[in-house]
Amino acid sequence: MNYNFIQKKLHNICLNNNFIKKSLFELENLLFYEQKEPNEGNHVFITGLPRSGTTILLENLYNTNEFASLTYAEMPFILSPNLISKINPNPKIKKIERMHSDGIFYDLKSPEAFEEVFFLTYKNDDEWPIKFKKYISLILKKNNKHRYLSKNNYNFKRIQKLNQLYPNAKIIIPFRDPLNQSFSMLNQHLNFIKKQQKDKFILNYMNYLGHFEFGLNHKSWMEKSTFTDLKNVNYWLEQWYLSYDFIMNYFKPTKNLFFLCYEKFCENKQYQISLKKRLDLNSDINFKLSNTNKNYDDFYDIKLYSQCKKLYEDLISLTEKI
């Protein structure tokens, strides 16, 4: 929303062309890649549905200074982080509120979910796991770190592959009260529709980054079943159920995966301390969280909500493993 004409054109050129993205990645590899594993892959992947505290969790973990992550400074050269750091080594911009209008502010040094650009670029490449490991190594090199931190709402469908690539990594699945999380997703969907209708570049921008969570370019996480109206909370409530049910049933036995309840995380200091131990952190974390849940009187399907509430309680029972 704050880009000038030249910046928008640059983003269009760099992010809307797979040949350019792959060429920049190959150049990055040629100049900076070192064929060695910088650590044992003790990385952290945050995934699951949005509006469950994923961004707050990302920012707080990143602020421990123990992780490398993609930041706004890499835009639009997402696949060549070392190269862009040589061109613009000390990026600065005043902090502004993100497009969600939810009180979260960012600047060029803030971490963000740009990783999906890689997966969109190499989605038809059978060797993407090899390239992805190189990509992570390059991000670590650029930041002089040994641990990588990722927030990607679509990685929950890649849990098995991520676990194979990095068996020592930690995979966090945040979740929130289903009704509150679903209404929050609905509100953001309507918010982004308005913004994208006013400025087509915002729609293009979201497409380039693989952000299909909300707005005119929304793509369902799971195949739609009963509810199809994207402007009705029941659609989002059903997506909540289908997504978390899928994760719980298919990946619950995964030893390095654990669920994180947003409500418990806000209210229980011991829960936060346990998370620090689980993630092998050396630094103390001063999580600044507030429970913004509301009591909604709006119409929603009672039977669907009952299913969601039962699943929510089952997920809470699994958080004891933290």
Question: Domain coordinates of the chain in residue numbers?
Answer: 5-321
**Paired strand residues for 44:** 149, 170
pLDDT attached to residue 259: 93
Q: How far apart are CA 177 and CA 264, in angstroms?
A: 11
pLDDT at 321 over 60: no
Mean pLDDT score across all residues of the chain: 89
**Each residue's pLDDT tens digit, 155-183:** 999 999 999 999 999 999 999 999 999 99
pLDDT at 320: 64
Round to the nearest angstrom and report the end-to-end CA distance of the chain.
Answer: 39
pLDDT band at 89; cut points 50, 70, 90 = low
Helical axes 128-143 vs 18-32, angle rounded to 10°:
60
Q: Which carries the bigger pLDDT value, residue 169 or residue 287?
A: 169
For the chain, give the secondary structure using H, E and C: CCCCHHHHHHHHHHHCCHHHHHHHHHHHHHHHCCCCCCCCCCCEEECCCCCCCHHHHHHHHHCCCCCECCEHHHCCCCCCHHHHHHHCCCCCCCCEECCCCCCCEECCCCECCCCHHHHHHCCCCCCHHHHHHHHHHHHHHHHCCCCEEEECCCHHHHHHHHHHHCCCCEEEEEECCHHHHHHHHHHHHHHHHHHHHHCHHHHHHHHHHCCCCCCCCCCCCCCCCCCCCCCCHHHHHHHHHHHHHHHHHHHCCCCCEEEEEHHHHHHCHHHHHHHHHHCCCCCCCCCCCCCCCCCCCCCCCHHHHHHHHHHHHHHHHHHHHC
Q: What is the pLDDT of residues 216-268, one digit of tens each?
A: 999 999 997 799 999 999 999 999 999 999 999 988 777 889 999 999 888 77
- CA-closest candidate to residue 24, choices 11, 14, 33: 14
pLDDT grade, residue 37 (50/70/90)?
low
Q: Which residues contact 99 (CB under 8 A, 6 or more apart)?
A: 1, 191, 192, 195, 202
Mean pLDDT for the stretch of residues 199-208: 95
- CA distances to 88, 113, 115, 179, 311 from 24, rounded to whole Å, are 16, 19, 15, 43, 44
State residue 221's pLDDT score: 95
Indicate the range of 147-151, 209-213, 261-265 predicted with least confidence: 261-265
pLDDT at 312 over 70: yes
Q: Fold for domain 5-321?
A: Rossmann fold (3.40.50)
Q: Is the pLDDT of residue 148 over 60?
A: yes
Average pLDDT (206-224) is 95
> Does the structure show a pLDDT above 80 at 153?
yes
pLDDT at 38 over 60: no
Alpha-carbon distance of 321 to 42, in angstroms, equals: 19
Question: Six-digit token pair at 7?
Answer: 């910046």
pLDDT of 33 over the 90 cut: yes
| pLDDT confidence of residue 254 | 79
Per-residue pLDDT tens digits for 40-79? 789 999 999 999 999 989 999 999 999 999 999 999 999 9
* pLDDT at residue number 288: 65
d(CA 254, CA 160): 9
